[in-house]
């Protein structure tokens, strides 16, 4: 299955923030949106991604003062991207190797969606279930 097919099913909504937002504001946005990461945009350009894990790391290192810092200080600036034509299997491997849970999806350097490891696993499970159902039907027809 391709990333573009996942985005058709889940939608292309991407929750974003700006680099100057504070860590406390971003934590509030993550909670309000019920998501684990936000893409950080400067105008329309992706400059980073910030996750719950980044906030926990900042709190462990700097304590409560981390909450007043701009998110640009704690975000991951070296963002890995997915493209709509990539496969689930390829992305699962890349995400596992890099130990990341979210990949912004870009087409021609324009943000068009985001996929999580959960989205990919759900897609893979559906694919395997469909294959199993096909095999059961084939066996039953024999």
pTM comes to 0.86
DSSP-derived secondary structure for 17-69: E-TTSBHHHHHHHHHHHT-SEEEEEETTEEEEEEEHHHHHHHHHHHGGGGGGS
Q: Which residue has the higher pLDDT, 141 or 83?
A: 83
* pLDDT tens per residue across span 9-63: 998 899 999 999 999 999 999 999 999 999 999 988 999 999 999 999 999 999 9
Total number of domains constituting the chain: 1
Residue 45 in contact with residue 10, Cβ under 8 Å?
no
Q: What is the pLDDT of residues 110-132, one digit of tens each?
A: 999 999 999 999 999 988 898 88
Number of H helices, E strands in the chain: 5, 5
In residues, how long is the chain?
A: 142
Expressed as residue numbers, the domain containing 56 is 3-141
- CATH number at 35 reads 3.10.580.10
């Amino acid at each position: 299955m391709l990333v573009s097919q996942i985005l058709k099913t889940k939608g292309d909504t991407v929750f974003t923030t700006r680099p100057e937002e504070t860590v406390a504001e971003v934590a509030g946005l993550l909670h309000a949106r019920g998501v684990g990461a936000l893409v950080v945009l400067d105008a329309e350009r992706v400059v980073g991604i910030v996750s719950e894990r980044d906030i926990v790391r900042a709190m462990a290192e700097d304590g409560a003062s981390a909450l007043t810092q701009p998110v640009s200080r704690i975000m991951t600036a070296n963002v890995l991207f997915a493209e709509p034509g990539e496969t689930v299997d390829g992305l699962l491997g890349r995400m596992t190797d890099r130990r990341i849970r979210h990949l912004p999806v870009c087409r021609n350097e324009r943000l068009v969606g985001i996929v999580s490891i959960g989205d990919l696993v759900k897609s893979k499970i559906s694919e395997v279930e469909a294959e199993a159902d096909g095999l059961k039907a084939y066996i039953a027809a024999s």
